[in-house]
């Protein structure tokens, strides 16, 4: 009897309890429930959206990309007129976003490195200035930075018809309409000079590679910097002269006298860097530089002081120690958080819309969306672009990170 | 030498200490410090001078504008006459607008109560050694939001019920009827399931019923007519909106972020994929597109006839956006907990939620408090972006006030931006200092 009772318990009780308490069963139930919820939520959203769109008589699909945009854009990197299509608008906005992000990343990195190293300076004044810079910059919202540059700083510059501020004598000028610079006007045959520059760059890289290998093998150094400089300047210069100077600089023209309306810089002569671009670039790079400075400082501090001492005792001076010993090791700590800052800067460039710099969000998710009303397609495309940019930056930085990572056994 | 001496001279015995001479002037005090830190070499001297000049060139104009040349009292006529110093009377005149937006003047005491009671609850909560943390947390996170909601909006939420209304009860009572029916049905189902499955389900049933009852009670309180005037969210503005968005964002994103972080580290493939996708999506897009989405796309998602207020839509967007960042912060904390803690918890027979709630999360969250404060600072700064979709936070309302012709002058925008910068800086800087403080206080576990 007892044995039969035991066996019954063995057969029944665990079987009943096991389904409810079985982690595998529970996990399957949880996942199925989540999947059902997501599918149901997605279905509801799609159903509601299509019903709403139908009611508001908004077309769907991507046909609008071929329609004429009919509005002008103040800064375009590719040919664009009011007759261009919305698809072209998208390209213009995308290129403007990429331009401001790339320049912003360069400037922010340079400034951030300077401030980060200054923060560790033994000079009290310099290190305090760097500290103050970081603490002030990163505790003020980026949008306020942009407004201050655009509405307060740049608006105080000379009016278009007044004497402009000279940045580089005879070359670059600044007034409330932005920076005016000469433009390179190329004539047929200029492509050879451009090709020569490309060839010089490739040659310099080859020389650098060869010299590094030779130094590793024999210890002999080769003046790479001078060679590269010579190549990059001389080769295009010789080609340029040999092909008969097929390019010229078109200088901005400033009219001082004559009818009032004609005074100021003549339109479409030379390059005009618009104030929206300048203020956005300055705000983005000075703001992000504060974060990069902290990252650089933490990275340098993460390198053991023994490394510096060992380097000094080998006879290296301060400069080579920093360049050859400390920075390469600090880079391993710096790169991952730096990637985050690059991503942030790229995403933050969308604040352009607040001061109407024609970036992707401003011209596409702003003007185009208002004109066509196709919110779903446009917002999804915009988000898709930023996701793609984020992923691309991550991939590049991860590749670089893997390249400089410490190789262990 | 002594042989040349005459007679036996009394040897010289010094009977008093010579008072120590002070070190040379260049080796002590400020001068020595300056020599060592500022002028130790030529390049260092140049750096110091450049630094001092830079500070002078950048800081002096701001001091001059904000303090020395500023107009401290008077009217706009004084500001216009001065023309190159900050116009502080404008800020004084507009302060109410900067804090409350267009919130009706007679009702602003309600906002004040919300501000002060929030501070009274928050400050003891933030100081680690003040007791009654549990009570404080319940009041701050449970009771306070409800009180704040009723006070700010005026309560009297229009709620009703389906079955309750059929029974002849209207409004709030109808909802109470519905909600009671729902609780009874759920409790009955749970008990019945327990009987069928042969499990003791009494305690879980009571817990579920109690939670549902508390939620119902909260809705009922929000639906009672306290006789407060309704204030639409369109009238809110200034610091009020900044704080509402930042605080709601952080409070809503914390539990969501914890769930997402747990999901991201879970073994279940579908849940893990979902959480990874969710987190990476929100982290990959800028907040502006999220706000655009909440303002133009979100209304399309809702069934016909349902409209959601603009502020609430922005809040949903901000909460989802910051929950993705919060999830990554929490994940960092979870990864810092050694595997032995998980195994130990499992060895004593704790379930997943017991293990997480009692063992892992308390340790993990303690690790990441500075990270949470940092996301809060980021969120606080990001609230300024709502001005792009037409909500007026502190920066938005200051920007808006520049259109006021009665205070028009050449220094109007400069003064406003300086004021905004000071306020935002003060908030963010004190939060970051708090984060450093808490980092030092809580860093007890592995301090040597």
pLDDT tens across B68-120, in order? 888 888 888 888 887 788 888 888 888 888 988 888 888 888 888 889 988 88
Which pLDDT score is estimated for A80? 83
User: One digit per residue, pLDDT tens: chain B, 448 residues?
Assistant: 445 555 667 788 888 888 888 888 777 778 888 877 778 788 888 888 998 998 898 889 889 888 888 888 888 888 888 778 888 888 888 888 898 888 888 888 888 888 998 888 888 888 878 888 888 888 888 888 888 888 888 877 776 666 666 666 666 777 787 888 888 898 888 888 877 776 777 777 888 889 888 888 888 888 777 778 888 888 888 899 999 999 889 888 989 999 999 998 888 888 999 999 999 899 889 999 999 888 888 888 887 777 778 888 899 999 999 999 999 999 888 888 888 999 999 999 888 888 998 999 988 888 888 888 888 999 999 999 998 888 888 998 998 888 888 888 888 888 899 999 999 999 999 999 988 888 787 766 554 4
Contacts (Cβ under 8 Å, ≥6 apart) of B329 = B257, B368, B371, B372, B374, B375
Q: How far apart are the first and last CA of chain A?
A: 65
- The dihedral region occupied by B74, where left means phi > 0, alpha psi between -120 and 50, and beta the remainder, is left
Q: Which of B55, B83, B270, B402 to mutate against chain A (most A CBs within 10 Å)?
A: B270
**B289–A139 CB contact, under 8 Å:** no
Q: How close B156 comes to chain A (CA, Å)?
A: 29
Give the phi and the psi of residue A81 in degrees, each rounded to 5: -130, 175
In three-state secondary structure terms, A68 is: strand
Contacts 24+ apart (CB under 8 A), B208-215: B209/B183, B212/B179, B212/B182, B212/B183, B212/B186, B213/B183
> In chain A, what is the greatest distance between 2 CA atoms, to the nearest angstrom?
120
Distant-in-sequence, close-in-space partners of B99: CB < 8 Å, separation ≥ 6: B111, B238, B239, B240
Task: Choose the closest CB to B286 out of A122, A124, A386.
Answer: A386
Interface contact A377, partner B, CB < 8 A = no
Residue of A nearest to B433 (CA): A135
Contacts of B281 in chain A (CB under 8 A): 383, 387
Rounded to whole angstroms, the Cα distance separating A181 from A185 reads 13
Q: Which residue of B has its CA nearest to A360?
A: B289
Within 10 angstroms of residue B52's Cβ, the number of other Cβ atoms is 14
- Counting every residue, how long is chain A? 409
List the single residue in B with minimal CA-CA distance to A393.
Answer: B284
For A248, phi then psi, to 5°, come to -145, 160
Question: How far is A67 from chain B, CA to nearest CA, in Å?
Answer: 22
Cβ–Cβ < 8 Å for A40, A348: no
Of B377, B388, B425, the CB nearest to A136: B425
Say yes or no for a CB contact (<8 Å) between B414 and A391: no
Asked if A207 is an interface residue toward chain B (Cβ–Cβ < 8 A), one would say no
Long-range pairs for B74-77 at CB < 8 Å and ≥24 separation? B76/B406, B76/B407, B76/B408, B76/B409
Best interface-test mutation with B: which of A141, A176, A364, A380 has the largest number of B CBs within 10 A?
Answer: A141
CA A159, chain centre distance (Å):
31
Nearest CA in chain B to A53: B300
From first to last of its 409 residues, chain A has per-residue pLDDT tens of: 444 444 444 444 444 455 666 778 878 888 899 899 999 999 988 888 888 888 877 777 777 888 887 787 878 888 888 888 888 889 999 999 999 999 999 999 999 999 998 998 888 889 999 999 999 999 999 999 999 999 888 888 888 878 888 888 877 888 888 888 888 777 777 888 888 889 989 999 999 899 988 888 888 888 888 888 888 888 888 888 888 777 777 777 777 777 777 777 777 777 888 889 999 999 999 999 999 999 999 998 888 889 999 999 999 988 889 888 988 888 888 888 888 899 899 999 999 988 888 989 888 888 888 888 788 888 889 999 999 988 888 888 888 888 877 766 5
Is the separation of the CB atoms in A68 and A368 below 8 Å? no
Out of B51, B197, B286, whose CB is closest to A347?
B286
Chain B from 235 to 274: CB within 8 A of any A CB = 267-271, 274
**Chain B (148-207) residues lying within 8 Å, Cβ to Cβ, of chain A:** 197-199
Residues 386-405 of A with CB under 8 A from B: 386-387, 390-391
Neighbours of B371 (CB within 10 A): 19
Q: Which residues of A touch B395 (CB under 8 A)?
A: 141, 143-144, 147
Task: Give the Cα separation of B71 and B86 in Å (integer).
Answer: 6
Inform me whether the C-beta atom of residue B39 falls under 8 Å from chain A C-beta atoms: no
Instruction: List, in order, residues 6 or more apart from A250 with CB less than 8 Å away.
Output: A182, A183, A184, A185, A269, A270
Residue B71: strand, helix, or coil:
strand
Does the beta carbon of A15 lie under 8 angstroms from any beta carbon of chain B? no
Interface mutation vs chain B, best among A41, A52, A144, most B CBs within 10 Å: A144
Q: Which alpha helices (H) appear in A152-274, and where do they start and end?
A: 190-218, 224-242
pLDDT for position B170:
63
**For the packed helices B88-100 and B412-442, what is the interaxial angle rounded to 10 degrees?**
60
**DSSP character for B200?**
-
Mutate to test the interface with A, among B42, B58, B296 (most CBs of A within 10 A): B296
Q: How far apart are CA B441 and CA B443, in angstroms?
A: 6
CB under 8 A, 24+ apart: contacts of B441-447: B441/B128, B442/B128, B442/B366, B442/B369
């Amino acid at each position: 009897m007892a044995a039969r009772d035991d066996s019954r318990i063995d057969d029944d009780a665990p079987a009943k309890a096991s389904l409810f308490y079985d982690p595998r069963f529970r996990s399957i139930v949880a996942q199925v429930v989540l999947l059902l919820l997501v599918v149901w939520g997605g279905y509801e959203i799609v159903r509601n959206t299509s019903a709403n769109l139908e009611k508001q008589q908004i077309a769907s699909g991507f046909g609008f990309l071929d329609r004429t945009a009919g509005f002008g854009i103040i800064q375009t990197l590719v040919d664009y007129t009011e007759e261009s299509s919305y698809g072209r608008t998208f390209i213009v906005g995308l290129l403007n976003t990429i331009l401001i992000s790339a320049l912003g990343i360069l400037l922010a990195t340079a400034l951030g490195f300077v401030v980060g190293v200054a923060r560790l300076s033994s000079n009290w004044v310099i290190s305090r200035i760097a500290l103050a810079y970081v603490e002030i910059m990163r505790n003020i919202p980026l949008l306020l930075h942009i407004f201050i540059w655009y509405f307060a700083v740049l608006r105080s510059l000379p009016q278009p018809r007044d004497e402009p501020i000279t940045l580089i004598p005879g070359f670059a000028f600044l007034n409330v309409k932005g920076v005016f610079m000469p433009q390179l006007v190329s004539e047929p045959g200029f492509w050879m000079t451009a090709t020569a520059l490309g060839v010089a760059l490739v040659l310099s890289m080859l020389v650098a590679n060869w010299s590094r290998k030779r130094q590793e093998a024999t210890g002999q150094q080769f003046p790479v910097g001078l060679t590269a400089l010579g190549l990059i300047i001389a080769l295009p210069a010789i080609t340029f002269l040999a092909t008969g100077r097929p390019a010229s600089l078109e200088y901005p023209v400033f009219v001082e006298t004559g009818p009032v309306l004609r005074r100021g810089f003549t339109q479409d002569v030379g390059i005009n860097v618009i104030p929206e671009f300048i203020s956005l670039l300055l705000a983005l790079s000075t703001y992000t530089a504060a974060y990069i400075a902290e990252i650089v400082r933490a990275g340098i501090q993460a390198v053991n002081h023994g490394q510096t001492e060992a380097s000094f005792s080998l006879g290296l001076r301060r400069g080579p120690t920093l360049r050859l010993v400390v920075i390469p090791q600090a880079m391993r700590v710096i790169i991952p958080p730096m990637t985050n800052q690059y991503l942030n800067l790229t995403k933050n460039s969308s604040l352009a819309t607040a001061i109407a710099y024609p970036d992707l969000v401003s011209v596409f998710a702003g003007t185009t969306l208002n004109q066509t009303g196709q919110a779903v397609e446009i917002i999804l495309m915009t988000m898709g672009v930023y996701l793609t940019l984020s992923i691309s930056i991550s991939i590049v930085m991860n590749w670089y990170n893997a390249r400089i990572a410490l190789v262990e056994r | 030498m002594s042989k040349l001496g005459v007679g036996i001279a009394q040897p010289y015995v010094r009977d008093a200490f010579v008072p120590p001479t002070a070190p040379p002037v260049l080796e002590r005090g400020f001068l020595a410090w300056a020599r060592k830190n500022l002028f130790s070499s030529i390049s260092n001297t140049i750096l110091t001078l450049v630094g001092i000049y830079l500070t002078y060139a950048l800081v002096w104009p701001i001091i001059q504008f904000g303090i020395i040349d500023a107009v401290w009292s008077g009217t706009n006529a004084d500001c216009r006459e001065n023309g190159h110093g900050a116009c502080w009377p404008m800020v004084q005149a507009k302060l109410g607008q900067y804090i409350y937006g267009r919130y009706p003047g007679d009702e602003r005491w309600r906002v004040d109560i919300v501000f002060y009671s929030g501070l009274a609850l928050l400050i003891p909560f933030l100081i680690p050694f003040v007791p009654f943390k549990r009570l404080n947390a319940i009041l701050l996170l449970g009771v306070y939001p409800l009180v704040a909601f009723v006070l700010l909006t005026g309560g009297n939420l229009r709620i009703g019920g389906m079955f309750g209304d059929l029974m002849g009860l209207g409004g709030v009572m109808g909802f109470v009827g519905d909600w009671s029916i729902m609780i009874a049905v759920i409790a009955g189902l749970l008990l019945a399931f327990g009987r069928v499955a042969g499990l003791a389900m009494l305690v879980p049933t009571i817990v579920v019923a109690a939670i549902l009852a508390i939620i119902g009670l909260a809705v009922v309180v929000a639906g009672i007519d306290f006789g407060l005037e309704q204030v639409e969210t369109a009238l809110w503005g200034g610091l009020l909106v900044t704080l509402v968005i930042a605080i709601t964002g952080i409070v809503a994103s914390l539990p969501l972020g914890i769930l997402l972080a747990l999901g991201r580290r879970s073994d279940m493939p579908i849940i893990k994929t979902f959480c990874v996708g969710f987190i990476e999506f929100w982290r990959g897009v800028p907040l502006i597109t999220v706000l655009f989405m909440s303002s133009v796309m979100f209304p399309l998602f809702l069934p016909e006839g349902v409209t959601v207020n603009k502020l609430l839509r922005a809040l949903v967007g901000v909460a989802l956006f910051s929950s993705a960042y919060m999830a990554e912060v929490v994940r960092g904390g979870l990864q810092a907990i050694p595997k032995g803690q998980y195994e130990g918890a499992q060895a004593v027979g704790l379930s997943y939620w017991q293990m997480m709630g009692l063992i892992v999360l308390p340790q993990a969250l303690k690790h990441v408090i500075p990270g949470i404060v940092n996301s809060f600072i980021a969120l606080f700064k990001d609230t300024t972006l709502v001005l792009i979709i037409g909500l007026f936070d502190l920066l938005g309302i200051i920007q808006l006030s520049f259109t006021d012709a009665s205070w028009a002058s050449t220094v109007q925008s400069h003064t406003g931006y300086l004021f905004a910068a000071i306020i935002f800086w003060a908030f963010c800087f004190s939060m970051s200092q708090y984060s450093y403080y808490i980092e030092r206080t809580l860093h007890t576990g592995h301090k040597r």
